[in-house]
């Protein structure tokens, strides 16, 4: 089923790894953590254990950097069998503080896409994670003025999107979500009969991976660069005139 | 200047220590931390240093329990001169996890006030802090259905409130905020010409204290129990009929 672009009134953008680089910083942090923990375990086990702990802690800590740091400290205590040095713990805390101070690197084409689309659509940001950290990145990004609304949600499930559309007072068919995560930005939208365009980022967190059967549903479009949305949504503007 | 209750259309409630107990859990946690750190410093110094570090970390970590735990770990490393045991660090992490799993204790009169006021006003929650943690408490509180809107903000300054009123499409004079913190729930509202009722909680975090000159501005009302809002806002309903 093709997307009927002529219906679209509001376009939602995911933020992390759709508008700017994010996952790369987490991967760098994991690598650094892995080096700190090298005396105790193989890099592979460290990665696996940290990932498992993050998922276990999600209901309590939610998404974002602070929960990630807390999970790293826990794993450091455990994998070292309570023999990790205070200096290493301090280094872990600093990995987190560095992450929270990273510059915001806009991805290719972001500004061009926002300039163009903001002329004909209401644009919003729908992002999950830590409220303050997302606000910090938005501010640093200098692109906030293109958006009518910024929605930071604790999770991106169908119910979160339904509530948002209700709040925006639009029908699902009038909403298009653009993002890099099939699990968070695409499939929930398809399930509530809204529209979605998938722009994969080169790195995806394991937790955001979906199995093949879930992906079979081909009611969304996949593009390789954000810039490819322009002909799709511009063409539509011409036919509407 | 008296509040003109006949103008009020929307009532905003602060959540922590206005609808339910919160600060008490932080104080208990500080006491526990103080005991863990007793071999290294006096309780007073531990309290002071932890408070100072929380304020220093606010721009990075924001409000909420996760930032509080991270600050405790930092202070534990420092005050022990990097000689704190892994077990103590584990105990600190568990203080945080316990806090995130606390039951939600509604304060006196909350449900009665919400039942009554929701019949004549649009009620909203305006709370700062961690998005997921506030959502968890709202869900546990079983009072979400009284509210038209829940707004979790990263801070409660004038700009945050102005944006909110804009979003709600109401004038400042039509908004009444009820909360326990002069600094966060009362003074910013007075400054933007909205209305506010102060319901002090028996314990206030030092960061929320305001100096006397700021308090001199008496354009808000102070009550000792939330139930006292009912005659104020009910009387008005009668005169409006």
Interface contact B91, partner A, CB < 8 A: no
Summarised one tens digit per residue, pLDDT across range B16-42 is: 999 999 999 999 999 999 999 999 999
pLDDT band for A237, please (50, 70, 90 cuts): low
Q: What is the mean pLDDT of chain B?
A: 92
CATH architecture under which domain A23-99 falls:
Orthogonal Bundle (1.10)
Mean pLDDT for A182-196 is 96
pLDDT band for B235, please (50, 70, 90 cuts): low
Residue from B62, B98, B131, B137 whose CB has the most chain A CBs within 10 Å, to mutate: B131
Nearest CB neighbour to B135, from listed A80, A96, A154: A154
pLDDT at A212 over 90: no
Residues of A in contact with B93 (CB under 8 A): 70, 73-74
pLDDT at A2: 79
Distance from the A216 Cα atom to the nearest Cα atom in chain B, whole angstroms = 31
Residue from A64, A76, A132 whose CB has the most chain B CBs within 10 Å, to mutate: A132
Q: Where are the domains of chain A?
A: 5-20+104-240, 23-99
pLDDT at B240 over 60: no
Contact B100 A130 (CB under 8 A): no
pLDDT at A211: 66
pLDDT band for A205, please (50, 70, 90 cuts): confident
Residues of B in contact with A164 (CB under 8 A): none
Which token pair is B238? 């009668």
pLDDT at B127: 95
Give which of B10, B30, B12, B20 is closest to B133, Cα–Cα: B20
Distance from the B152 Cα atom to the nearest Cα atom in chain A, whole angstroms = 8
pLDDT at B139: 93
Interface contact A152, partner B, CB < 8 A: yes
Residue from B91, B132, B147, B153 whose CB has the most chain A CBs within 10 Å, to mutate: B132
Residue from B37, B58, B61 whose CB has the most chain A CBs within 10 Å, to mutate: B61
Nearest CB neighbour to B93, from listed A70, A97, A131: A70
Compute φ and ψ for A13, nearest 5 degrees: -110, 130
Mean pLDDT for A14-24 is 95
Summarised one tens digit per residue, pLDDT across range A142-164 is: 999 999 989 999 899 999 999 99
Contact A90 B82 (CB under 8 A): yes
Nearest CB neighbour to A82, from listed B80, B83, B87: B87
Q: Are B235 and B7 in contact (CB under 8 A)?
A: no
Nearest-by-CA chain B residue for A76: B86
CATH architecture under which domain A5-20+104-240 falls:
3-Layer(aba) Sandwich (3.40)
Summarised one tens digit per residue, pLDDT across range B102-132 is: 999 999 999 999 999 999 999 999 999 888 9
pLDDT band for A53, please (50, 70, 90 cuts): very high
pLDDT at A240 over 80: no
Fold observed for domain B5-20+105-240: Rossmann fold (3.40.50)
Summarised one tens digit per residue, pLDDT across range B165-213 is: 998 999 999 999 999 999 999 999 999 999 999 999 987 777 777 765 5
Indicate whether this model's pTM tops 0.80.
Answer: yes
pLDDT at A214 over 90: no
Residues of B in contact with A67 (CB under 8 A): 66
Contact B131 A135 (CB under 8 A): no
């Amino acid at each position: 089923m093709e997307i009927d672009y002529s219906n679209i009134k509001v376009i939602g953008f995911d933020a992390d790894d759709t508008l700017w680089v994010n996952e790369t910083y987490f991967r760098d942090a994991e690598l650094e953590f892995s080096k700190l923990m090298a005396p105790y375990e193989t890099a592979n086990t460290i990665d696996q254990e940290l990932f498992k702990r993050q998922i276990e802690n999600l209901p309590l800590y939610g998404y974002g950097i602070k929960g990630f740091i807390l999970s790293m400290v826990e794993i450091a205590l455990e994998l070292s069998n309570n023999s990790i040095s205070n200096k290493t713990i301090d280094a872990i805390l600093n990995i987190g503080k560095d992450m929270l101070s990273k510059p915001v690197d806009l991805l290719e084409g972001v500004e061009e896409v926002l300039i163009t689309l903001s002329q004909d659509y209401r644009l919003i940001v729908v992002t999950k994670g830590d409220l303050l950290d997302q606000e910090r990145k938005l501010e640093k990004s200098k692109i906030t003025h293109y958006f009518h609304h910024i929605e930071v949600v604790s999770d991106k499930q169908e119910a979160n999107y339904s509530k948002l559309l209700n709040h925006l007072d639009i029908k699902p068919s009038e909403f298009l979500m653009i993002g890099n995560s099939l699990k968070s930005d695409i499939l929930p939208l398809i399930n509530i009969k809204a529209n979605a365009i998938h722009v994969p980022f080169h790195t995806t967190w394991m937790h955001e991976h979906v199995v093949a059967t879930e992906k079979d549903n081909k009611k969304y479009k996949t593009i390789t660069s954000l810039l490819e949305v322009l002909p799709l949504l511009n063409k539509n503007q011409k036919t509407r005139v």
